[in-house]
Amino acid sequence: MMQASWMLLLLAWGGHANTKTVGQTLPPVEPDVHLLADVRSVVLQGKSHTDKVDVPGPMNLTLQCTWTANGNKTLNVTGYWLKDGRDIDNSHVTLRLENQQVHLKRTFLIKNEESLGRYSCMFGNEAKADFILAVPHISDVRDKPVVSYVGDSVVLACKVDDRKPEPKTWLWFRANGTDKEQITTVAEPQKYQIKNAGKATKLHVHNLTRDDSGLFYCAAVFTIGTAVSHLELKVITIYEPLKPFVTIVLEVLILVTAILLFERGQSKKSQVQEASEKEVANAEPPATNAEPPAINVEPPTSTSSATPSGESNGLEKSSSARQRKS
Amino acid sequence: MASVRPGAERRRGGEAEGPDGGWGWVLVAALFVSTSLVFGLMRGLGVFFVEFVQYFEESAQAISWISSTGLAAQQFFSPLGAALSNAYDTRLVVMAGGCLAGFGFILASQATCLLHLYLTMGLISGLGWGLVFTPMVATVMASFTRRRTFALGLAFSSIGLASFTFNPLFQFLVETYAWRGALLILGGLSLNIVPCGALIRSRRRPKRPAKADAEGGSPCGGVLRRVASYLELSLLCERPYLTYTLAITFLNVGYFVPYVHLVAHSRHAGFSEYQAAFVVSAAGVTDILGRLASGWFSDLGRFRLIHLLSVWTALAGLFIALLPVSTLWGSYAGLVAVSLLYGFCAGALTSLAFTVVPTVAGAERVMGALGLVQLIESCAGLLGTPLSGLLRDVTGDYLASFVVSGSFLILSTLTMATLPHYFSRTDPPLPPNAEARRLSSETERMNATH
């Protein structure tokens, strides 16, 4: 009703009115059939609430807030909207509490990057809800640098979350001093390769050199704006991991040598012990050798070979027979 | 020669008076380190997968074949490790295995395609691990008689501890040196198996090959016979051993399923990432406790090892089947409780599964027996996890996969119950030729240790 009377005034003045801008004037809401439309609603539980809205392109966005007044307040409350902390004209509405609940709803035309920001619906001074409209963020890449080796190739990747909208295209930049320099595959096709696949992008960097270390930026280009994220690349030589490796190999060699030496020392000691034991054993009279053999010894005459002395032959035969038996 | 009274062997484990401690504890420490560098390392490779997927631009499934190949190679080459240890010197075999394991990872750091990783991280390192694990376990088992299960439990607790320490360590290595540098350093770490192998005392070759030669026949036949005796292929003709192997195979189908699917199941039941990770960590802690407690308790000698193994296996199967049930009521405490109990039982049964082997196959055939059982159980591992994954995809949740895994463990217990003389209070007598060989090699060993 207030809006209608304001427009009538304008017409009456014939357009010569000096419109003082108190707060911001937003374009009148004319639903454009070509634009997307979306609705976001919030039911306020406490005093305030914040919601993040990803806006990839121009759209008509309807924001609704519902607030339940606690306590028995039968007063009217003034509901209004703010953008980035500043009042929006024509947004003040007096609301009556019905069943302790009040609703605020407004459709905003988001047409360019300036339309993005923080929209707040206010219920007097009692409660508010913030909607942060922004270009969709790129998923957090790890803050640790990506490490690779000289001569090797590396893949740098950026992606937006599956639930978020898809960017129009992806761009990559290299840090050049304080500037960002765009990477084009046309200039150096053997070095860089960009593979875009909808919600993800990969930059392949080949033939790495130490100069390739530094910051790389990936940019997700949406109709309404660009989101940028950065990755750090660190190029090292093979000597870096070689140092701990050689240390470990040395440690292994030292351990093995120590163990083998220790064992040789032990076995020498036991050999000395054995030798001394043997000496003690040999010092005893050879009682065992004088034992008569367990079996009957064949008389020397039965053998084919002639022997000079029968006795020794018999003894020999008996001992060999004994050995054969055991 | 000491006279071995027949009555003395009818003790639990069927052993004559044997070594128990002394240098054996040093070997336990060596096995502790080796096991962590074999299985602990395998479990920590998950950190590399993300890097491989991004670098080689392959699917997660193709990357996961790397560790499957490694595990399969370790189990497949176990009989080879056992046979070589029987034929030559265990120490040399283990040291060679350690070199191969390290070499595989060092080569892998230079990989330019996925096939290289299959061949190096999978095949070469797997071969090395196969040459290390079975011989070392058999050596430790031979060094103990009464404290065997506890010694093994103590050594195997390294797997759980390694998972704790290796995951953050590997993450750090990958972040600092990228996967190439990290693999190089892991290769160096794997070389630490070599000093562990050096700690094994050389023993003189047993006289068994001489006996085989004495039977005569063609030279080819002699070599084959010798190889067969090194591999202990005669075990495959004995029903107790086959029954036991079948039981272990069933066990392996279900055993690994919770390790693989517990996190996914917890997330599916609605718990957060941290809650799910905590459940797995808690199960890991009770796993370690279970190994130690079961080891100590088994060595008290109150019960037969096979009975204890059956009890722990049945309980573990029961708790696996209960896992999805506990989340049916949406209770986090229930899930944690069942996981803790499962972890304890799963840890408790592992060392017993090894120490039962001498009661089934005889002490001096342990080396070959362990090798063969590893080979046969490898197909169970290949079957179990994909089967449970398939069940999950078909039915939509993990209820079916966990229940099936639990029932495989119960089936394993029932199979164990069919072992001869299961229900008697003492261990059964060993088959006759095994008995004679055991006697002769026991006395050989006693002479050799002087």
Q: Does B200 touch chain A (CB under 8 A)?
A: no
pLDDT at A64 over 70: yes
Q: Find the residue in B nearest to A262 (Cα).
A: B199
Q: Does B198 touch chain A (CB under 8 A)?
A: yes
Residue B10 has a pLDDT of 38
pLDDT band at B18 (very low <50, low <70, confident <90, very high): low
Q: Does A245 touch chain B (CB under 8 A)?
A: yes
Q: Contact B64/B89 with Cβ under 8 angstroms?
A: no
Q: Burial of A221 by CB count in 10 Å (0-12 exposed, 13-18 middle, 19+ buried)?
A: middle
> Is pLDDT larger for residue A226 or for residue A301?
A226
Residues A185-215 pLDDT 10s: 677 778 888 888 888 888 888 888 888 888 8
Residues of A in contact with B194 (CB under 8 A): 252, 256
Residue A73 has a pLDDT of 61
Sign, CA torsion A142/A145/A149/A155 = positive
Residues A231-257 pLDDT 10s: 889 999 888 899 999 999 999 999 999
Q: What is the mean pLDDT of residues A69-79?
A: 70
Q: Does B57 touch chain A (CB under 8 A)?
A: yes
Residue A310 has a pLDDT of 39
Residue A128 has a pLDDT of 82
Q: Contact A137/A170 with Cβ under 8 angstroms?
A: no
Element (H, E) at A41: strand A36-44
Q: Contact B371/B314 with Cβ under 8 angstroms?
A: no
pLDDT at B120 over 80: yes
Residue A285 has a pLDDT of 56
CA distances from A182 to A128, A175, A214 (A): 42, 9, 14
CA angle A230, A233, A234 (to 5 degrees): 150
pLDDT band at A313 (very low <50, low <70, confident <90, very high): very low
Distance from CA of A195 to the nearest CA of B (A): 12
Q: What is the mean pLDDT of residues B434-443?
A: 51
Give the whole-angstrom CA distance, residue B153 versus residue B147.
Answer: 10
Which of A275-289, B58-72, B302-316 reaches the highest mean pLDDT?
Answer: B302-316
Residues of A in contact with B187 (CB under 8 A): 245
User: Which among A185, A176, A175, A168 is positioned nearest to A226, based on CA atoms?
Assistant: A168
Give the whole-angstrom CA distance, residue B25 versus residue B37.
Answer: 18
Q: Do B198 and A241 touch (CB under 8 A)?
A: no
pLDDT at B128 over 80: yes
Which residues contact residue B354 at a Cβ distance below 8 angstroms, ignoring those fewer than 6 apart?
A: B137, B141, B152, B370
pLDDT at B444 over 60: no
Give the whole-angstrom CA distance, residue B224 versus residue B207.
Answer: 17
pLDDT at B432 over 80: no
Q: Do B198 and A255 touch (CB under 8 A)?
A: yes
**What is the DSSP annotation of B334-345?**
HHHHHHHHHHHH
pLDDT at A298 over 90: no
Q: Does B201 touch chain A (CB under 8 A)?
A: yes
For residue B279, how many other CB atoms are within 10 A of its CB?
24
Q: Contact B236/B242 with Cβ under 8 angstroms?
A: yes
Give the whole-angstrom CA distance, residue B126 versus residue B272.
Answer: 35
Element (H, E) at B294: helix B273-299
Q: What is the mean pLDDT of residues B291-315?
A: 87
Q: Rounded to the nearest 5°, which phi and psi values hold at A149?
A: -115, 155
**What is the DSSP annotation of A134-178?**
EPPPPPPPPSSPEEEETT--EEEEEE--TTSPPPSEEEEEEEETT
Q: Does B54 touch chain A (CB under 8 A)?
A: yes
- What mean pLDDT, rounded, does chain B reach? 80
Give the whole-angstrom CA distance, residue B211 versus residue A323.
Answer: 19
Torsion, CA B130, CA B135, CA B136, CA B138, rounded to 10: 130
pLDDT at B182 over 50: yes
Q: Does B55 touch chain A (CB under 8 A)?
A: yes
Residues B243-260 pLDDT 10s: 888 898 888 888 877 777
Residues B43-63 pLDDT 10s: 888 788 878 888 888 877 788
The DSSP symbol for B45 reads: T
Distance from CA of B191 to the nearest CA of A (A): 7
**What is the DSSP annotation of B343-402?**
HHHHHHHHHHHHHTHHHHH-GGGHHHHHHHHHHHHHHHHHHHHHHHHHHHHHHSSSHHHH
Q: Rounded to the nearest 5°, which phi and psi values hold at A76?
A: -80, 155
Q: Contact A64/A42 with Cβ under 8 angstroms?
A: yes
Residues of B in contact with A252 (CB under 8 A): 188, 191-192, 194-195
Q: Do B195 and A152 touch (CB under 8 A)?
A: no
Q: Does B168 touch chain A (CB under 8 A)?
A: no
Q: Do A248 and B188 touch (CB under 8 A)?
A: yes
Q: Does B110 touch chain A (CB under 8 A)?
A: no
pTM over 0.80: no
Q: Does B177 touch chain A (CB under 8 A)?
A: yes
Residue B108 has a pLDDT of 94
Q: Which of residues 255-284 of A touch B (CB under 8 A)?
A: 255-256, 259-260, 263, 274
Helix (H/G/I), strand (E/B), else coil: A306: coil
Residue B212 has a pLDDT of 45
Structure tokens at A183: 């990477």
Give the whole-angstrom CA distance, residue B352 versus residue B309.
Answer: 6
Structure tokens at A212: 């390739």
Q: Does B225 touch chain A (CB under 8 A)?
A: no
Q: What is the mean pLDDT of residues B418-445?
A: 61
User: What is the number of H-type helices and E-type strands within chain B?
Assistant: 22, 0
Residues of B in contact with A203 (CB under 8 A): none
pLDDT at B272 over 60: yes
Cβ-nearest to A255 among B185, B195, B201: B195
Give the whole-angstrom CA distance, residue B226 versus residue B234.
Answer: 11
**What is the DSSP annotation of A235-277?**
EE-THHHHHHHHHHHHHHHHHHHHHHHHHHHHHHHHHHHHHHH
> Is pLDDT larger for residue B378 or for residue B416?
B416
User: Which among B305, B297, B421, B400 is positioned nearest to B352, based on CA atoms?
Assistant: B305
pLDDT band at A171 (very low <50, low <70, confident <90, very high): confident
> Is pLDDT larger for residue A12 or for residue B331?
B331
Q: What number is the ipTM of this complex? A: 0.76
